[in-house]
């Protein structure tokens, strides 16, 4: 089981973490909500929970709670630009269907 | 949808992203900034620029904003509105001094200033709305959605009319204004000074054409503007002109054509910028006889602009004097405006305030960045934010009434600004003063709330208990400042006090206060009922004793004894905590004294009528 990220994503995460000045890593996960059932979570982490799994990516830590991992195992986190907008994108092999916006999905 | 990194626990539900931006609506240039993945940055438009010239051009069928509009500033001066900020919220008569300085036509629109353009009459609010809409558009495209709210910065010296005009412009642009923020405060927020050391902060803002110095006081996370000063006709442009004069001396070109002037100015600006990092700059300029080449070193440059910089320092000294402070009182100095990049400016400011000024954030962007940070907090993207949300009142505000009870005047979560009034009266006959105790909190008893302030209303004309009408007004302004005014209606005597209710309250403390009000709700209510009966008992005892003193003659000996007995019983149960028993004793006393009261009434009517006949009444 693993979660990874592209070089572009890693660079941005590193810079955002440095800018924030605190935190142990980046939480990637899912929560049950949204128009298609599940939605992604992307948050800074200040304290680890008991059920968290930590994936090292060079000097960075990707943190996933055990329950989320089932839904996003094998996911690669990417950072992309679309016009003026830029941000993170989940390339999740488990996804069966997405809502039109890509913000929530079903497995 | 592309995702941004949220603070722990703050991930938004799909389609629920709270997008906010900070806007620096400047006289010359405007910027928009936002916080994304925890980082505050100015946003660039499709042309790759983050600085938008605050220029709007009206052609007969189009509205052009920014660089393209500025390009036409010379050729189509009538329809190209520059520096509209100077006109915001101004009456026509107030702008007469500007009439010859602006290249477009100012007109009187029912007392307010407006501009005659190819598209008809436009007022400053409409022009500013075009700039705001352009910036907001850049922000929504960059953030990937409609903005939930914006924070717009205004100069600290802007009055209510200028602030209202700015808000109106935002409304016209379809924006939800979370708050107007003072420019110096925004700059201080950008440096995170709100969570730092308390004390006095100076914000030195030297732009292209204006100089502002603001003195702020930071106390418990809230910035208060103590004094502002400056010079609305002094800025980096004057540095450029000083260099141009020097260049003219060197090249021997006394008279410059428009085109030459532009060339000299461009060279001057480039020299100024290069001298920030190097000690000598060489230049070459076309002259009538060919080309003039020369050099300018840092020392000579500093001599050229020395007097101008000294002028800003004099303004700093003046504003400190206005605030009753000296340079040593200043704990931090924040630099704003592109001209603060000039090393001489930095060193003079450092010497005057005896502290190294903060310069790590781009001085052109620092105000927009501060606004973005504030917008991000206000829109609700930060859970553990130490910046208190001042837009709503976090805890109820009220007064202490008899018996140590709280009377809530403004309930919690009321949106500010707000004003609420309530009438109170005197408790005793002939009472001429009233103590007002302002408290904050949700509990029923004053002892469980937070005391904010006490003051006294004196000079109430002597009247029977309950006769005076004292109107107490609670007013909270947009910055959370509470003022309480008490006024006795018949005489007009009044007293007031000002407090900042948010001082010293962390979010945790607010949460604790709210939680305990839930926890103790039932208990509090019972205590309140008991206290109310105790106060009522006190009032009855007082009233009956007064009556006995005055008119005991109207009672038989037996009646007198019965009433005295009832009073003694009432006084006894009042000490206890049996609400029902107190209530019963009050009712018993009232019942016993009904007849006495009626006889007193008859007697006073008779005495009033003595010597008068019925027709006169």
Say yes or no to pLDDT of B142 above 50: yes
Residue B469 lies in a domain: yes
Tokens of A26: 């980046």
CATH hierarchy code of domain A4-94: 2.60.300.12
Taking the C-alpha atoms of residue B100 and residue B595, their distance in angstroms, rounded to an integer, is: 84
Taking the C-alpha atoms of residue B346 and residue B352, their distance in angstroms, rounded to an integer, is: 10
Tell me which of A84, A99, A100, A105 to substitute to probe the interface with B (most B C-beta atoms closer than 10 Å).
A84
Is B183 tagged catalytic? yes
Q: Do A43 and B11 touch (CB under 8 A)?
A: yes
pLDDT at position B254, please? 83
DSSP B207-263: -SS-EEEEEEEEETTEEEEEEEEEETT-SHHHHHHHHHHHHHHHHT--S--HHHHHH
Q: What is the C-alpha radius of gyration for chain A, rounded to an integer number of angstroms? A: 14
Q: Do B14 and A99 touch (CB under 8 A)?
A: yes
A-chain residues near B37 (CB < 8 A): 12, 16, 87
CB–CB of B346/B363 below 8 Å?
A: no
Q: Do B1 and A103 touch (CB under 8 A)?
A: yes
Q: State the CB neighbour count (10 A cutoff) for residue B506.
A: 12
Q: Can you give the CATH number for the domain in which B144 is found?
A: 3.30.420.40
Tell me which of A103, A104, A105 to substitute to probe the interface with B (most B C-beta atoms closer than 10 Å).
A103
Clarify whether residues B78 and B196 are in a common domain.
Answer: yes
Q: Which domain holds residue B592?
A: 519-609
pLDDT average, residue stretch A61-83: 89
The answer to whether A14 contacts chain B (CB < 8 Å) is no
Residue for token digits 């039109």? Answer: A100
pLDDT at position B218, please? 82
Clarify whether residues B101 and B135 are in a common domain.
Answer: yes
Q: How close are the terminal C-alpha atoms of chain A, in Å?
A: 17
CA distance A1 to chain B (A): 23
CA distance B80 to chain A (A): 28
Clarify whether residues B371 and B487 are in a common domain.
Answer: no
DSSP state for residue B392 in the 8-state scheme: B
Clarify whether residues B185 and B51 are in a common domain.
Answer: yes
Q: Do A85 and B45 touch (CB under 8 A)?
A: no
pTM score: 0.66
CA angle B243, B49, B260 (to 5 degrees): 30
Nearest to A84 among B7, B11, B141 (CB): B141
Taking the C-alpha atoms of residue A16 and residue B39, their distance in angstroms, rounded to an integer, is: 7
Q: How does pLDDT run across B416-445, given as a tens digit for each residue?
A: 678 888 888 888 888 899 999 998 887 888
Alpha helices in B52-175 (DSSP H): 67-71, 124-143, 160-172
Q: Can you give the CATH number for the domain in which B536 is found?
A: 1.20.1270.10
Q: Can you give the CATH number for the domain in which B459 is found?
A: 2.60.34.10
Residue B492 lies in a domain: yes
Choosing from B376, B392, B408, the residue where a domain stops is: B392
Q: Do B3 and A16 touch (CB under 8 A)?
A: no
Residue for token digits 């220029």? Answer: B55
CB–CB of A64/A55 below 8 Å?
A: yes
Residue B511 lies in a domain: no
CB–CB of B55/B70 below 8 Å?
A: yes
pLDDT at position B256, please? 82
Choosing from B364, B392, B420, the residue where a domain stops is: B392
**Catalytic choice (B50, B76, B168, B183):** B183
Clarify whether residues B54 and B203 are in a common domain.
Answer: yes
The answer to whether A34 contacts chain B (CB < 8 Å) is yes
Q: How does pLDDT run across B439-451, given as a tens digit for each residue?
A: 888 788 888 888 8
Alpha helices in B323-365 (DSSP H): 343-353
Helix (H) or strand (E) holding B609: helix B579-609
Clarify whether residues B65 and B121 are in a common domain.
Answer: yes
Clarify whether residues B101 and B143 are in a common domain.
Answer: yes
Using CA atoms in the order B61, B65, B68, B71, what is the torsion angle rounded to 10 degrees?
100
SS3 content of chain B, % helix, strand, coil (to 5): 40, 25, 30
Residues 6+ apart with CB under 8 A from B419: B473, B474, B475, B476
Residue B443 lies in a domain: yes
Q: Do B3 and A90 touch (CB under 8 A)?
A: yes
The answer to whether A32 contacts chain B (CB < 8 Å) is no
Residue B253 lies in a domain: no
CA distance B82 to chain A (A): 27
- Give residue A102's pLDDT band: very low, low, confident or very high (50, 70, 90): low
Residue B242 lies in a domain: no
* pLDDT-above-90 percentage for chain B: 42
The answer to whether B376 contacts chain A (CB < 8 Å) is no
Nearest to B14 among A26, A83, A103 (CB): A103
Clarify whether residues B103 and B213 are in a common domain.
Answer: yes
Residue B73 lies in a domain: yes
Nearest to A45 among B3, B8, B43 (CB): B8
Q: Which of residues 48-77 of A touch B (CB under 8 A)?
A: none
Using CA atoms in the order B190, B191, B197, B199, what is the torsion angle rounded to 10 degrees?
-70
Say yes or no to pLDDT of B263 above 80: yes
The sign of the CA dihedral A91, A95, A96, A101 is negative
Tokens of B487: 């006024």
Clarify whether residues B444 and B581 are in a common domain.
Answer: no
Q: How does pLDDT run across B209-262, given as a tens digit for each residue?
A: 889 999 988 876 677 778 888 888 899 999 999 999 999 998 888 888 878 888
Residues 6+ apart with CB under 8 A from A48: A24, A54, A63
Residue B497 DSSP SS3? strand
pLDDT at position B93, please? 86
SS3 content of chain A, % helix, strand, coil (to 5): 20, 45, 35
The residue extents of the domains of chain A are 4-94
Taking the C-alpha atoms of residue B500 and residue B481, their distance in angstroms, rounded to an integer, is: 5
Q: Do A43 and B7 touch (CB under 8 A)?
A: yes
Among the ranges given (B18-22, B384-388, B511-515, B535-539), the one the predictor scored with the smallest mean pLDDT: B384-388
Q: Do B142 and A45 touch (CB under 8 A)?
A: no
Q: State the CB neighbour count (10 A cutoff) for residue B307.
A: 10
Clarify whether residues B166 and B193 are in a common domain.
Answer: yes
Say yes or no to pLDDT of B377 above 70: yes
Q: Do A12 and B37 touch (CB under 8 A)?
A: yes
Choosing from B449, B483, B505, the residue where a domain stops is: B505
Say yes or no to pLDDT of B407 above 50: yes
Q: Do B138 and A84 touch (CB under 8 A)?
A: yes
The answer to whether A40 contacts chain B (CB < 8 Å) is yes
The structural domain count of chain B equals 3
Residue B1 lies in a domain: no
CB–CB of B437/B451 below 8 Å?
A: yes
**Catalytic choice (B50, B76, B85, B130):** B85
Taking the C-alpha atoms of residue B551 and residue B471, their distance in angstroms, rounded to an integer, is: 33
- Give residue B195's pLDDT band: very low, low, confident or very high (50, 70, 90): confident
CB–CB of B507/B388 below 8 Å?
A: yes
Q: Do B4 and A26 touch (CB under 8 A)?
A: no
Residues 6+ apart with CB under 8 A from B311: B231, B234
By C-alpha distance, the chain A residue nearest B143 is: A85
pLDDT average, residue stretch B135-157: 92
Taking the C-alpha atoms of residue B563 and residue B519, their distance in angstroms, rounded to an integer, is: 42
- Give residue B617's pLDDT band: very low, low, confident or very high (50, 70, 90): very low
A-chain residues near B3 (CB < 8 A): 40, 42, 87-90, 103
Nearest to B14 among A15, A47, A104 (CB): A104
Residue B494 DSSP SS3? strand
Say yes or no to pLDDT of A90 above 60: yes
CA distance B377 to chain A (A): 15
pLDDT at position A64, please? 93
């Amino acid at each position: 089981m693993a979660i990874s990220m592209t070089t572009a994503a890693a660079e941005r995460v590193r810079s955002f973490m440095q800018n924030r000045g605190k935190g142990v890593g980046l939480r990637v996960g899912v929560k049950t909500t949204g128009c298609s059932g599940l939605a992604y979570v992307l948050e800074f982490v200040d304290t680890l929970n008991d059920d968290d799994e930590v994936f090292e990516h060079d000097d960075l830590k990707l943190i996933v709670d055990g329950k989320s991992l089932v839904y996003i195992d094998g996911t690669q986190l990417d950072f992309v630009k679309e016009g003026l907008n830029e941000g993170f994108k989940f390339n999740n092999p488990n996804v069966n269907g997405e809502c039109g916006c890509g913000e929530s999905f079903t497995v | 949808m592309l995702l941004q990194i949220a603070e722990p626990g703050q991930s938004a539900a799909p389609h629920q992203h709270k997008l906010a931006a900070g806007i620096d609506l400047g006289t010359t240039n405007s910027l928009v900034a936002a916080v994304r993945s925890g980082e505050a940055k100015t946003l660039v438009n499709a042309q790759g620029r983050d600085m938008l010239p605050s220029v709007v051009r009206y052609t007969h069928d189009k509205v052009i904003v920014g660089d393209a509009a500025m390009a036409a500033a010379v050729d189509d001066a009538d329809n190209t509105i520059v520096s509209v900020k100077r006109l915001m919220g101004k009456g026509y008569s107030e702008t007469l001094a500007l009439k010859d300085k602006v290249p477009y036509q100012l007109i009187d629109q029912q007392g307010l200033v407006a501009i005659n353009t190819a598209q008809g009459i436009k007022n400053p609010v409409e022009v500013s709305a075009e700039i705001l809409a352009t910036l907001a558009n850049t922000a929504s495209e960059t953030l990937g959605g409609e903005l939930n709210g914006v924070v717009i910065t205004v100069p600290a010296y802007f009055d209510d009319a200028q602030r209202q005009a700015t808000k109106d412009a935002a409304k016209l642009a379809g924006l939800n204004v979370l708050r107007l923020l003072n420019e110096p405060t925004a700059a201080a927020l950008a440096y995170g000074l709100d969570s730092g050391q308390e004390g006095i902060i100076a914000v030195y803002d030297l732009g292209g054409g204006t100089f502002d110095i603001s003195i702020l006081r930071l106390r418990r996370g809230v910035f208060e503007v103590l004094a502002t000063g400056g010079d609305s006709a002094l800025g980096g442009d004057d540095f450029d002109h000083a260099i141009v004069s020097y260049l003219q001396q060197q090249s021997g070109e006394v008279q410059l054509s428009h085109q030459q002037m532009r060339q000299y100015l461009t060279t001057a600006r480039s020299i100024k910028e290069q001298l920030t990092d190097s000690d000598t700059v060489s230049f070459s300029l076309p002259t009538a006889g060919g080309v003039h080449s020369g050099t300018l070193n840092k020392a000579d440059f500093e001599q050229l602009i020395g007097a101008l910089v000294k002028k800003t320092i004099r303004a700093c000294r003046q504003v400190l004097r206005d605030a009753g402070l000296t340079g040593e009182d200043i704990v931090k100095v924040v630099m704003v405006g592109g001209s603060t990049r000039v090393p001489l400016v930095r060193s003079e400011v450092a010497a005057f305030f005896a502290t190294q000024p903060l310069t790590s954030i781009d001085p052109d962007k620092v105000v927009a960045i501060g606004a973005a940070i504030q917008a991000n907090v206000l829109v609700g993207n930060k859970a553990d934010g130490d910046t208190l949300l001042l837009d709503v009142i976090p805890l109820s505000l009220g007064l202490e009434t008899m018996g140590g009870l709280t009377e809530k005047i403004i309930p919690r979560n009321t949106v500010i600004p707000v004003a609420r009034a309530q009438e109170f009266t005197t408790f005793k006959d002939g009472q001429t003063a009233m103590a007002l105790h302002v408290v904050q909190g949700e509990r029923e008893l004053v002892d469980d709330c937070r005391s904010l302030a006490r003051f006294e209303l004196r000079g109430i004309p002597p009247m029977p208990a309950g006769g005076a009408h004292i109107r107490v007004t609670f007013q909270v302004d947009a910055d959370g400042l509470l003022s309480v005014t008490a006024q006795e209606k018949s005489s007009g005597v009044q007293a007031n006090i000002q407090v900042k209710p948010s001082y010293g309250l962390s979010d945790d403390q607010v949460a604790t206060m709210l939680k305990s009000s839930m926890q103790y709700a039932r208990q509090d209510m019972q205590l309140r009922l008991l206290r109310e009966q105790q106060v009522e008992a006190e009032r009855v005892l007082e009233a009956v004793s007064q009556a006995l003193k005055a008119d005991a003659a109207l009672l038989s000996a037996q009646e007198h004894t019965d009433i005295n007995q009832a009073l003694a019983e009432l006084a006894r149960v009042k000490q206890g905590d049996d609400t029902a028993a107190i209530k019963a004793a009050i009712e018993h006393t009232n019942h016993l004294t009904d007849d006495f009261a009626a006889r007193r009434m008859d007697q006073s009517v008779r005495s009033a009528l003595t010597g008068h006949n019925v027709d006169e009444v």
